[in-house]
Amino acid sequence: MHTLPEKPDAVEETLDPQDWDELRALSHRIVDEAIDYVSGVRERPVWRNMPAAVRETLVAPLPKTGKPLAEIYASVVENVLGYPMGNIHPRFWAWYMGAGNFTGALGEFLAAVQGSNVGGGNHAAALMDQQVVNWCKEMLGFPASASGSLVSGGSVANILGLTVARNAKAGVDLRERGVAALKQPLCFYGSDQIHSCHRKGVEVLGLGNEALRRISTDSELRIDVAALRRAIEDDRASGRLPVCIIANAGTVNTGAIDDLQALADLAAEQHLWLHVDGCIGALLKLAPENRWRVAGIEKADSIALDPHKWLHAPFEAGCVLVRDAATHRGTFAVTPEYLESSTRGLASAPWLFDYGLQTSRGFRALKIWMALMEHGVEKFGRLIDQNIAQGHYLSDLIEAEPLLELVAPTNINIVCFRFRPKGVETDELKAINIEIMLQLQDEGTAMISDTTVHGEHCLRVAVNNHRTRREDLKLFVEEVVRLGCAIARA
Ligand SMILES: *Cc1c(COP(=O)(O)O)cnc(C)c1O
Protein backbone atom coordinates (compact mmCIF):
# COMPACT_ATOMS: atom_id res chain seq x y z
CA MET A 1 0.00 0.00 0.00
CA HIS A 2 1.22 3.46 -0.82
CA THR A 3 1.31 5.95 2.00
CA LEU A 4 1.79 9.65 1.87
CA PRO A 5 5.16 10.87 3.11
CA GLU A 6 4.98 11.32 6.83
CA LYS A 7 7.17 14.38 7.02
CA PRO A 8 4.93 17.08 8.51
CA ASP A 9 6.21 19.68 6.03
CA ALA A 10 5.13 17.62 2.97
CA VAL A 11 2.21 19.44 1.36
CA GLU A 12 0.23 17.85 -1.47
CA GLU A 13 0.22 19.68 -4.78
CA THR A 14 -2.93 21.03 -6.44
CA LEU A 15 -3.83 22.94 -9.57
CA ASP A 16 -5.55 25.61 -7.48
CA PRO A 17 -3.71 28.92 -7.16
CA GLN A 18 -1.74 29.85 -4.10
CA ASP A 19 -3.28 33.27 -4.11
CA TRP A 20 -6.97 33.34 -5.02
CA ASP A 21 -7.11 37.14 -4.83
CA GLU A 22 -4.47 37.48 -7.52
CA LEU A 23 -6.49 35.11 -9.71
CA ARG A 24 -9.63 37.10 -8.95
CA ALA A 25 -8.03 40.35 -10.14
CA LEU A 26 -6.72 38.77 -13.33
CA SER A 27 -10.06 37.09 -14.02
CA HIS A 28 -11.90 40.41 -13.70
CA ARG A 29 -9.49 41.92 -16.20
CA ILE A 30 -10.02 39.02 -18.60
CA VAL A 31 -13.81 39.51 -18.49
CA ASP A 32 -13.45 43.28 -19.03
CA GLU A 33 -11.20 42.79 -22.01
CA ALA A 34 -13.43 40.05 -23.42
CA ILE A 35 -16.33 42.51 -23.45
CA ASP A 36 -14.18 45.07 -25.29
CA TYR A 37 -13.14 42.37 -27.73
CA VAL A 38 -16.69 41.45 -28.68
CA SER A 39 -18.20 44.95 -28.54
CA GLY A 40 -15.37 46.25 -30.75
CA VAL A 41 -15.38 43.46 -33.30
CA ARG A 42 -16.86 45.61 -36.09
CA GLU A 43 -13.84 47.95 -35.98
CA ARG A 44 -11.35 45.16 -36.69
CA PRO A 45 -10.59 43.27 -39.91
CA VAL A 46 -12.65 40.11 -40.33
CA TRP A 47 -9.49 38.03 -40.63
CA ARG A 48 -5.74 38.54 -40.89
CA ASN A 49 -2.99 36.15 -41.81
CA MET A 50 -0.65 35.18 -38.96
CA PRO A 51 2.90 36.51 -39.23
CA ALA A 52 5.76 34.05 -38.74
CA ALA A 53 6.44 35.23 -35.18
CA VAL A 54 2.90 34.39 -34.17
CA ARG A 55 3.01 30.98 -35.87
CA GLU A 56 6.20 30.21 -33.97
CA THR A 57 4.53 30.68 -30.61
CA LEU A 58 2.01 28.07 -31.68
CA VAL A 59 4.58 25.37 -32.37
CA ALA A 60 6.56 25.93 -29.15
CA PRO A 61 7.71 22.79 -27.33
CA LEU A 62 5.84 21.18 -24.44
CA PRO A 63 6.44 23.31 -21.33
CA LYS A 64 8.22 21.33 -18.62
CA THR A 65 7.58 23.86 -15.92
CA GLY A 66 5.02 26.61 -15.54
CA LYS A 67 4.91 30.38 -15.62
CA PRO A 68 2.54 33.03 -14.26
CA LEU A 69 -0.98 33.02 -15.67
CA ALA A 70 -0.81 36.78 -16.40
CA GLU A 71 2.06 36.15 -18.82
CA ILE A 72 0.19 33.30 -20.47
CA TYR A 73 -2.92 35.43 -20.85
CA ALA A 74 -0.88 38.21 -22.49
CA SER A 75 0.37 35.71 -25.04
CA VAL A 76 -3.14 34.41 -25.70
CA VAL A 77 -4.35 37.98 -26.33
CA GLU A 78 -1.48 38.69 -28.68
CA ASN A 79 -1.17 35.43 -30.56
CA VAL A 80 -4.58 33.79 -30.39
CA LEU A 81 -7.35 36.37 -29.87
CA GLY A 82 -5.63 38.62 -32.41
CA TYR A 83 -5.98 36.04 -35.20
CA PRO A 84 -9.51 34.64 -35.13
CA MET A 85 -11.31 32.72 -37.81
CA GLY A 86 -13.58 35.75 -37.90
CA ASN A 87 -17.05 34.27 -37.61
CA ILE A 88 -18.14 36.62 -34.81
CA HIS A 89 -17.54 39.57 -37.18
CA PRO A 90 -20.59 41.22 -38.83
CA ARG A 91 -19.13 40.66 -42.32
CA PHE A 92 -18.32 36.98 -41.97
CA TRP A 93 -20.52 35.07 -44.41
CA ALA A 94 -18.36 32.10 -45.42
CA TRP A 95 -19.56 28.47 -45.37
CA TYR A 96 -22.26 28.32 -42.71
CA MET A 97 -21.53 29.33 -39.16
CA GLY A 98 -23.04 31.07 -36.19
CA ALA A 99 -21.69 34.36 -34.88
CA GLY A 100 -21.63 33.37 -31.19
CA ASN A 101 -23.00 35.47 -28.35
CA PHE A 102 -21.50 36.72 -25.13
CA THR A 103 -24.10 35.10 -22.91
CA GLY A 104 -23.22 31.81 -24.57
CA ALA A 105 -19.56 32.46 -23.74
CA LEU A 106 -20.51 33.04 -20.11
CA GLY A 107 -22.46 29.79 -20.26
CA GLU A 108 -19.35 27.95 -21.52
CA PHE A 109 -17.37 29.48 -18.70
CA LEU A 110 -19.88 28.60 -15.99
CA ALA A 111 -20.32 25.09 -17.38
CA ALA A 112 -16.58 24.60 -17.08
CA VAL A 113 -16.55 26.14 -13.62
CA GLN A 114 -19.14 23.67 -12.44
CA GLY A 115 -17.26 21.03 -14.39
CA SER A 116 -20.02 18.44 -14.47
CA ASN A 117 -19.85 15.44 -16.74
CA VAL A 118 -23.19 15.17 -18.50
CA GLY A 119 -22.90 11.47 -19.29
CA GLY A 120 -25.97 11.41 -17.09
CA GLY A 121 -26.93 10.97 -13.46
CA ASN A 122 -28.99 12.79 -10.90
CA HIS A 123 -27.67 16.36 -11.03
CA ALA A 124 -28.78 19.71 -12.41
CA ALA A 125 -26.61 19.78 -15.53
CA ALA A 126 -28.03 16.45 -16.71
CA LEU A 127 -31.59 17.68 -16.17
CA MET A 128 -30.83 20.91 -18.01
CA ASP A 129 -29.35 18.91 -20.90
CA GLN A 130 -32.65 17.06 -21.21
CA GLN A 131 -34.59 20.29 -20.87
CA VAL A 132 -32.72 21.80 -23.83
CA VAL A 133 -33.37 18.65 -25.86
CA ASN A 134 -37.06 18.97 -24.93
CA TRP A 135 -37.03 22.60 -26.04
CA CYS A 136 -35.53 21.55 -29.38
CA LYS A 137 -38.38 19.07 -29.84
CA GLU A 138 -40.88 21.80 -29.03
CA MET A 139 -39.25 24.26 -31.44
CA LEU A 140 -39.59 21.73 -34.27
CA GLY A 141 -43.06 20.43 -33.41
CA PHE A 142 -41.72 16.99 -32.47
CA PRO A 143 -43.71 14.93 -29.94
CA ALA A 144 -42.75 15.10 -26.25
CA SER A 145 -42.24 11.33 -26.33
CA ALA A 146 -39.33 11.67 -28.80
CA SER A 147 -35.74 11.40 -27.63
CA GLY A 148 -32.65 13.37 -28.48
CA SER A 149 -29.10 14.19 -27.62
CA LEU A 150 -26.88 17.24 -27.67
CA VAL A 151 -23.71 16.46 -29.60
CA SER A 152 -20.73 18.27 -31.06
CA GLY A 153 -22.47 19.43 -34.22
CA GLY A 154 -24.59 18.61 -37.21
CA SER A 155 -22.22 16.03 -38.64
CA VAL A 156 -22.38 13.84 -35.57
CA ALA A 157 -26.12 14.49 -35.19
CA ASN A 158 -26.65 13.30 -38.77
CA ILE A 159 -24.45 10.23 -38.33
CA LEU A 160 -26.35 9.25 -35.17
CA GLY A 161 -29.65 9.63 -37.05
CA LEU A 162 -28.38 7.46 -39.91
CA THR A 163 -27.16 4.85 -37.42
CA VAL A 164 -30.59 4.56 -35.81
CA ALA A 165 -32.17 4.37 -39.29
CA ARG A 166 -29.76 1.64 -40.37
CA ASN A 167 -30.34 -0.51 -37.29
CA ALA A 168 -34.11 -0.01 -37.37
CA LYS A 169 -34.51 -1.00 -41.01
CA ALA A 170 -31.73 -3.52 -41.71
CA GLY A 171 -33.85 -6.59 -40.94
CA VAL A 172 -30.97 -8.31 -39.11
CA ASP A 173 -29.54 -7.76 -35.64
CA LEU A 174 -26.79 -5.40 -36.67
CA ARG A 175 -25.66 -4.71 -33.12
CA GLU A 176 -24.89 -8.36 -32.51
CA ARG A 177 -23.95 -9.61 -35.95
CA GLY A 178 -22.62 -6.58 -37.80
CA VAL A 179 -22.89 -5.65 -41.45
CA ALA A 180 -21.43 -9.00 -42.55
CA ALA A 181 -24.83 -10.52 -41.69
CA LEU A 182 -26.72 -8.27 -44.13
CA LYS A 183 -28.44 -10.28 -46.84
CA GLN A 184 -28.85 -7.30 -49.15
CA PRO A 185 -26.89 -4.05 -49.59
CA LEU A 186 -28.68 -1.17 -47.81
CA CYS A 187 -29.51 2.09 -49.63
CA PHE A 188 -29.81 5.64 -48.28
CA TYR A 189 -31.15 8.39 -50.57
CA GLY A 190 -30.35 12.07 -50.65
CA SER A 191 -30.10 14.73 -53.32
CA ASP A 192 -26.91 15.54 -55.23
CA GLN A 193 -26.70 18.60 -52.93
CA ILE A 194 -26.32 16.53 -49.76
CA HIS A 195 -23.71 17.53 -47.16
CA SER A 196 -20.44 15.57 -47.09
CA CYS A 197 -21.04 14.31 -43.54
CA HIS A 198 -23.57 11.82 -44.91
CA ARG A 199 -20.90 10.22 -47.03
CA LYS A 200 -18.70 9.90 -43.95
CA GLY A 201 -21.75 8.50 -42.18
CA VAL A 202 -22.46 5.65 -44.59
CA GLU A 203 -18.75 4.92 -44.71
CA VAL A 204 -18.32 4.60 -40.94
CA LEU A 205 -21.54 2.61 -40.79
CA GLY A 206 -19.73 0.00 -42.87
CA LEU A 207 -22.04 0.41 -45.87
CA GLY A 208 -19.68 2.20 -48.20
CA ASN A 209 -20.12 5.36 -50.21
CA GLU A 210 -22.12 3.37 -52.80
CA ALA A 211 -24.92 3.01 -50.25
CA LEU A 212 -25.60 6.75 -50.51
CA ARG A 213 -27.64 7.25 -53.67
CA ARG A 214 -27.43 10.82 -55.00
CA ILE A 215 -30.65 11.83 -56.70
CA SER A 216 -30.75 14.68 -59.22
CA THR A 217 -32.21 18.07 -58.34
CA ASP A 218 -34.51 20.49 -60.13
CA SER A 219 -33.72 24.08 -61.15
CA GLU A 220 -34.37 25.16 -57.53
CA LEU A 221 -31.80 22.56 -56.33
CA ARG A 222 -34.49 20.47 -54.61
CA ILE A 223 -34.54 16.70 -54.87
CA ASP A 224 -36.47 15.36 -57.87
CA VAL A 225 -39.09 13.28 -56.09
CA ALA A 226 -40.08 11.31 -59.19
CA ALA A 227 -36.43 10.38 -59.81
CA LEU A 228 -36.15 9.37 -56.17
CA ARG A 229 -39.14 7.07 -56.45
CA ARG A 230 -37.65 5.45 -59.58
CA ALA A 231 -34.29 4.95 -57.83
CA ILE A 232 -35.98 3.26 -54.86
CA GLU A 233 -37.95 0.96 -57.14
CA ASP A 234 -34.89 0.14 -59.26
CA ASP A 235 -32.81 -0.67 -56.19
CA ARG A 236 -35.53 -2.97 -54.85
CA ALA A 237 -35.85 -4.70 -58.22
CA SER A 238 -32.10 -5.34 -58.27
CA GLY A 239 -32.05 -6.93 -54.82
CA ARG A 240 -31.02 -3.98 -52.68
CA LEU A 241 -32.80 -2.86 -49.53
CA PRO A 242 -33.85 0.82 -49.46
CA VAL A 243 -33.84 1.97 -45.83
CA CYS A 244 -33.76 5.74 -45.52
CA ILE A 245 -34.51 9.02 -47.29
CA ILE A 246 -32.34 11.91 -46.15
CA ALA A 247 -34.22 15.14 -46.78
CA ASN A 248 -32.40 18.46 -46.97
CA ALA A 249 -33.99 21.28 -45.02
CA GLY A 250 -31.52 23.85 -46.34
CA THR A 251 -28.60 22.69 -48.49
CA VAL A 252 -25.16 24.14 -47.92
CA ASN A 253 -24.71 25.24 -51.51
CA THR A 254 -27.88 27.27 -51.97
CA GLY A 255 -30.17 26.76 -48.97
CA ALA A 256 -32.58 24.67 -51.05
CA ILE A 257 -35.30 22.93 -49.05
CA ASP A 258 -36.62 19.63 -50.36
CA ASP A 259 -40.38 19.08 -50.49
CA LEU A 260 -40.61 17.63 -46.99
CA GLN A 261 -44.32 16.79 -47.25
CA ALA A 262 -43.76 14.82 -50.45
CA LEU A 263 -40.75 13.03 -48.97
CA ALA A 264 -42.70 12.15 -45.81
CA ASP A 265 -45.47 10.67 -47.97
CA LEU A 266 -43.00 8.72 -50.10
CA ALA A 267 -41.15 7.41 -47.04
CA ALA A 268 -44.45 6.25 -45.50
CA GLU A 269 -45.56 4.57 -48.70
CA GLN A 270 -42.21 2.82 -49.17
CA HIS A 271 -41.73 1.99 -45.45
CA LEU A 272 -38.50 3.96 -45.30
CA TRP A 273 -36.98 5.96 -42.46
CA LEU A 274 -37.16 9.71 -43.04
CA HIS A 275 -34.18 11.59 -41.70
CA VAL A 276 -34.09 15.37 -42.13
CA ASP A 277 -30.75 17.17 -42.29
CA GLY A 278 -31.99 20.39 -40.73
CA CYS A 279 -28.60 21.78 -39.76
CA ILE A 280 -29.42 24.95 -41.63
CA GLY A 281 -33.19 24.97 -41.96
CA ALA A 282 -34.82 23.10 -39.07
CA LEU A 283 -34.88 26.26 -36.98
CA LEU A 284 -36.89 28.04 -39.71
CA LYS A 285 -39.75 26.60 -37.67
CA LEU A 286 -39.13 29.51 -35.28
CA ALA A 287 -39.36 32.20 -37.96
CA PRO A 288 -42.89 33.58 -38.46
CA GLU A 289 -42.33 34.69 -42.05
CA ASN A 290 -40.43 31.64 -43.22
CA ARG A 291 -41.62 28.64 -41.26
CA TRP A 292 -43.88 27.59 -44.14
CA ARG A 293 -40.73 26.53 -45.97
CA VAL A 294 -40.20 23.55 -43.66
CA ALA A 295 -43.81 22.41 -43.33
CA GLY A 296 -43.80 18.67 -42.78
CA ILE A 297 -40.46 18.50 -40.95
CA GLU A 298 -42.31 17.26 -37.88
CA LYS A 299 -43.18 14.06 -39.77
CA ALA A 300 -39.55 12.94 -39.82
CA ASP A 301 -38.31 9.87 -37.94
CA SER A 302 -35.15 11.74 -37.03
CA ILE A 303 -33.80 15.27 -37.44
CA ALA A 304 -30.34 16.81 -37.11
CA LEU A 305 -30.18 20.48 -36.13
CA ASP A 306 -27.37 22.80 -35.24
CA PRO A 307 -27.68 25.26 -32.33
CA HIS A 308 -24.23 26.62 -33.24
CA LYS A 309 -25.69 27.93 -36.50
CA TRP A 310 -28.99 29.82 -36.15
CA LEU A 311 -29.05 29.86 -32.34
CA HIS A 312 -25.48 31.25 -32.41
CA ALA A 313 -24.31 29.04 -29.56
CA PRO A 314 -20.54 29.23 -29.31
CA PHE A 315 -19.03 26.13 -30.96
CA GLU A 316 -19.78 23.28 -30.47
CA ALA A 317 -23.46 22.41 -30.24
CA GLY A 318 -25.49 20.08 -32.42
CA CYS A 319 -28.62 18.08 -31.64
CA VAL A 320 -30.20 14.90 -32.94
CA LEU A 321 -33.88 14.13 -32.35
CA VAL A 322 -35.49 10.71 -32.85
CA ARG A 323 -39.25 10.24 -32.90
CA ASP A 324 -39.17 6.75 -31.41
CA ALA A 325 -37.15 6.95 -28.20
CA ALA A 326 -36.98 3.16 -27.73
CA THR A 327 -35.42 2.68 -31.18
CA HIS A 328 -32.94 5.46 -30.44
CA ARG A 329 -31.90 3.99 -27.11
CA GLY A 330 -31.90 0.50 -28.58
CA THR A 331 -29.22 1.57 -31.03
CA PHE A 332 -26.69 2.72 -28.45
CA ALA A 333 -27.53 1.58 -24.90
CA VAL A 334 -24.98 -0.63 -23.18
CA THR A 335 -24.71 -0.79 -19.41
CA PRO A 336 -21.40 -2.12 -18.20
CA GLU A 337 -21.04 -3.39 -14.62
CA TYR A 338 -19.23 -0.23 -13.56
CA LEU A 339 -22.11 2.02 -14.65
CA GLU A 340 -25.13 0.32 -13.11
CA SER A 341 -27.87 2.60 -11.81
CA SER A 342 -28.86 2.78 -8.18
CA THR A 343 -32.25 3.52 -6.63
CA ARG A 344 -31.07 6.65 -4.82
CA GLY A 345 -28.31 9.19 -5.13
CA LEU A 346 -26.23 10.36 -8.06
CA ALA A 347 -26.62 7.24 -10.20
CA SER A 348 -30.41 7.09 -9.83
CA ALA A 349 -31.27 9.03 -13.01
CA PRO A 350 -31.06 7.81 -16.62
CA TRP A 351 -27.69 7.72 -18.31
CA LEU A 352 -27.63 10.12 -21.23
CA PHE A 353 -24.75 8.27 -22.89
CA ASP A 354 -27.29 5.60 -23.88
CA TYR A 355 -28.36 7.93 -26.74
CA GLY A 356 -25.09 8.31 -28.57
CA LEU A 357 -21.42 7.41 -28.78
CA GLN A 358 -19.82 9.53 -26.09
CA THR A 359 -19.60 8.31 -22.50
CA SER A 360 -18.33 11.52 -20.94
CA ARG A 361 -20.27 14.49 -22.22
CA GLY A 362 -19.69 18.21 -21.74
CA PHE A 363 -22.27 20.59 -20.31
CA ARG A 364 -23.26 22.03 -23.70
CA ALA A 365 -26.78 22.80 -22.60
CA LEU A 366 -25.97 25.77 -20.36
CA LYS A 367 -24.78 28.14 -23.11
CA ILE A 368 -27.88 27.38 -25.20
CA TRP A 369 -30.20 27.56 -22.20
CA MET A 370 -28.90 30.92 -20.96
CA ALA A 371 -29.20 32.60 -24.37
CA LEU A 372 -32.73 31.23 -24.86
CA MET A 373 -33.75 32.39 -21.39
CA GLU A 374 -32.25 35.84 -21.95
CA HIS A 375 -33.76 36.55 -25.37
CA GLY A 376 -36.73 34.21 -25.61
CA VAL A 377 -37.25 31.95 -28.58
CA GLU A 378 -39.34 34.52 -30.49
CA LYS A 379 -36.33 36.79 -30.88
CA PHE A 380 -34.32 33.97 -32.41
CA GLY A 381 -37.19 33.51 -34.88
CA ARG A 382 -37.10 37.22 -35.78
CA LEU A 383 -33.32 37.07 -36.26
CA ILE A 384 -33.78 34.19 -38.70
CA ASP A 385 -36.37 36.19 -40.64
CA GLN A 386 -33.96 39.15 -40.57
CA ASN A 387 -31.12 37.10 -42.09
CA ILE A 388 -33.42 35.84 -44.83
CA ALA A 389 -34.59 39.37 -45.60
CA GLN A 390 -30.91 40.40 -45.76
CA GLY A 391 -30.18 37.52 -48.14
CA HIS A 392 -32.94 38.76 -50.46
CA TYR A 393 -31.74 42.35 -50.10
CA LEU A 394 -28.27 41.28 -51.21
CA SER A 395 -29.78 39.29 -54.02
CA ASP A 396 -31.67 42.42 -55.18
CA LEU A 397 -28.47 44.52 -55.06
CA ILE A 398 -26.75 41.91 -57.22
CA GLU A 399 -29.59 41.85 -59.74
CA ALA A 400 -29.48 45.63 -59.98
CA GLU A 401 -25.72 45.62 -60.68
CA PRO A 402 -24.91 44.96 -64.37
CA LEU A 403 -21.45 43.54 -63.56
CA LEU A 404 -22.86 40.88 -61.24
CA GLU A 405 -25.19 37.96 -61.82
CA LEU A 406 -26.96 35.41 -59.64
CA VAL A 407 -25.90 31.83 -60.32
CA ALA A 408 -28.66 30.12 -58.34
CA PRO A 409 -32.06 31.25 -57.13
CA THR A 410 -31.95 32.89 -53.69
CA ASN A 411 -34.17 30.90 -51.42
CA ILE A 412 -33.30 31.73 -47.83
CA ASN A 413 -30.12 33.47 -46.63
CA ILE A 414 -27.61 31.99 -49.09
CA VAL A 415 -26.71 33.97 -52.21
CA CYS A 416 -24.70 32.45 -55.07
CA PHE A 417 -23.43 34.94 -57.62
CA ARG A 418 -20.45 35.95 -59.71
CA PHE A 419 -18.73 38.97 -61.15
CA ARG A 420 -19.22 38.83 -64.89
CA PRO A 421 -18.07 41.76 -67.00
CA LYS A 422 -18.85 41.77 -70.69
CA GLY A 423 -16.23 40.33 -73.00
CA VAL A 424 -14.60 38.03 -70.44
CA GLU A 425 -14.46 34.35 -71.43
CA THR A 426 -16.32 31.92 -69.16
CA ASP A 427 -13.14 29.99 -68.39
CA GLU A 428 -11.49 33.16 -67.02
CA LEU A 429 -14.41 33.92 -64.72
CA LYS A 430 -13.51 31.38 -62.07
CA ALA A 431 -9.98 32.73 -61.59
CA ILE A 432 -11.25 36.33 -61.42
CA ASN A 433 -13.92 35.48 -58.88
CA ILE A 434 -11.55 33.48 -56.68
CA GLU A 435 -9.16 36.43 -56.75
CA ILE A 436 -11.98 38.77 -55.64
CA MET A 437 -12.72 36.44 -52.73
CA LEU A 438 -9.06 36.25 -51.69
CA GLN A 439 -8.52 40.00 -51.90
CA LEU A 440 -11.59 40.56 -49.71
CA GLN A 441 -9.96 38.22 -47.17
CA ASP A 442 -6.55 39.88 -47.40
CA GLU A 443 -8.10 43.31 -46.88
CA GLY A 444 -10.18 41.98 -43.98
CA THR A 445 -13.35 43.48 -45.51
CA ALA A 446 -15.56 40.42 -45.70
CA MET A 447 -15.23 36.66 -45.55
CA ILE A 448 -17.16 34.67 -48.12
CA SER A 449 -16.62 31.28 -49.73
CA ASP A 450 -17.10 29.80 -53.20
CA THR A 451 -18.77 26.74 -54.61
CA THR A 452 -19.99 25.17 -57.83
CA VAL A 453 -23.72 24.86 -58.47
CA HIS A 454 -24.89 22.60 -61.31
CA GLY A 455 -21.48 23.03 -62.92
CA GLU A 456 -21.21 26.83 -62.54
CA HIS A 457 -18.52 28.23 -60.25
CA CYS A 458 -19.72 31.08 -58.04
CA LEU A 459 -19.08 33.15 -54.95
CA ARG A 460 -21.34 32.32 -52.04
CA VAL A 461 -22.59 34.51 -49.21
CA ALA A 462 -24.40 32.90 -46.26
CA VAL A 463 -25.84 35.55 -43.96
CA ASN A 464 -26.12 33.59 -40.75
CA ASN A 465 -25.10 36.43 -38.50
CA HIS A 466 -27.01 38.52 -35.95
CA ARG A 467 -24.47 41.36 -36.29
CA THR A 468 -24.84 41.93 -40.03
CA ARG A 469 -26.53 45.16 -41.16
CA ARG A 470 -27.78 46.08 -44.61
CA GLU A 471 -24.99 48.67 -44.91
CA ASP A 472 -22.48 45.78 -44.60
CA LEU A 473 -24.05 44.08 -47.61
CA LYS A 474 -24.10 47.31 -49.59
CA LEU A 475 -20.42 47.91 -48.84
CA PHE A 476 -19.71 44.32 -49.84
CA VAL A 477 -21.31 44.69 -53.27
CA GLU A 478 -19.37 47.93 -53.90
CA GLU A 479 -16.10 46.25 -52.92
CA VAL A 480 -16.75 43.21 -55.12
CA VAL A 481 -17.38 45.44 -58.13
CA ARG A 482 -14.34 47.63 -57.39
CA LEU A 483 -11.99 44.64 -56.94
CA GLY A 484 -13.52 42.77 -59.87
CA CYS A 485 -12.97 45.69 -62.24
CA ALA A 486 -9.36 46.12 -61.09
CA ILE A 487 -8.62 42.39 -61.44
CA ALA A 488 -10.32 42.02 -64.82
CA ARG A 489 -8.41 45.04 -66.19
CA ALA A 490 -5.03 43.80 -64.93
C1 LIG B 1 -23.28 22.58 -41.17
C2 LIG B 1 -23.98 21.46 -41.83
C3 LIG B 1 -23.69 20.12 -41.51
C4 LIG B 1 -22.57 19.76 -40.60
O5 LIG B 1 -22.73 20.27 -39.33
P6 LIG B 1 -21.50 20.60 -38.38
O7 LIG B 1 -22.15 21.29 -37.26
O8 LIG B 1 -20.56 21.47 -39.16
O9 LIG B 1 -20.87 19.30 -38.01
C10 LIG B 1 -24.46 19.13 -42.09
N11 LIG B 1 -25.44 19.43 -42.96
C12 LIG B 1 -25.72 20.69 -43.31
C13 LIG B 1 -26.83 20.95 -44.28
C14 LIG B 1 -24.99 21.74 -42.76
O15 LIG B 1 -25.27 23.00 -43.12
pLDDT of the residue at 391: 98
Positions in the chain whose pLDDT score sits under 50: none
pLDDT at 462: 98
Q: Is the peptide bond before 316 cis (omega within 30 degrees of 0)?
A: yes
Predicted confidence at residue 178, as pLDDT, reads: 97
Question: Does 325 share its domain with 464?
Answer: no
Residue 281 Cβ inside 6 Å of ligand 1? The answer reads no
**Using a 6 Å cutoff on CB, does residue 154 contact ligand 1?**
yes
Domains in the chain, number: 3
Q: Residue 13 falls within a domain, yes or no?
A: no
Strand order in the sheet with 147-151: 147-151, 318-322, 302-305, 273-277, 241-248, 186-191, 212-215
Domain shared by 355 and 263, yes or no: yes
Residue 8's pLDDT is 61
| Co-location of 338 and 219 in the same domain | yes
Mark which of 352, 375, 398 sits at the end of a domain.
Answer: 375
Q: How far apart are CA 174 and CA 198, in angstroms?
A: 19
Range of the domain at 392: 378-489
Residue 464, domain CATH: 3.90.1150.170
What is the pTM for the complete model shown? 0.96
Residues 256 and 329 in one domain: yes
> Which residue's alpha carbon is nearest to atom 3 within ligand 1?
154
15 falls within a domain:
no
258 lines ligand 1 (CB under 6 A): no
* Whether residues 120 and 58 fall in one domain: no
41 with 190, same domain?
no
pLDDT for residue 381: 98
Q: Which atom of ligand 1 is nearest to the CA of 249?
A: 13
pLDDT at 63: 97
**Which residue among 197, 200, 309, 316 has the greatest number of ligand 1 atoms within 8 angstroms of its CB, and so is best to mutate?**
197
Query: Is 274 inside any structural domain?
Result: yes
> CA 455 from chain center: how many Å?
26
**Is 361 a member of any domain?**
yes
Residue-level pLDDT at 337:
84
CA distance 284 to 294: 7
Alpha helices in 238-364 (DSSP H): 260-270, 325-332
Q: Tell me what pLDDT residue 4 has.
A: 60
SS3 state of residue 133: helix
Q: Are residues 75 and 175 in the same domain?
A: no
356 touches 192 (CB < 8 A): no
Residue 228 domain-assigned (yes or no): yes
- Per the CB < 8 A criterion, the answer to whether 317 and 150 are in contact is yes
Q: Which of 263, 223, 456, 276 is nearest to 213 (CA)?
A: 223
Per-residue model confidence (pLDDT) at position 336: 83
> How far is the C-alpha of 63 from the C-alpha of 239, rounded, in Å?
59
Let me know: does 319 contact 129? Beta carbons within 8 Å.
no
Q: Is 235 near ligand 1, meaning CB less than 6 Å away?
A: no
Is there a single domain that holds both residue 31 and residue 166? no
185, part of any domain: yes
Contacts of 387 (CB under 8 A, 6+ apart): 310, 412, 413, 463, 464, 465, 466, 468
CATH number at residue 285: 3.40.640.10
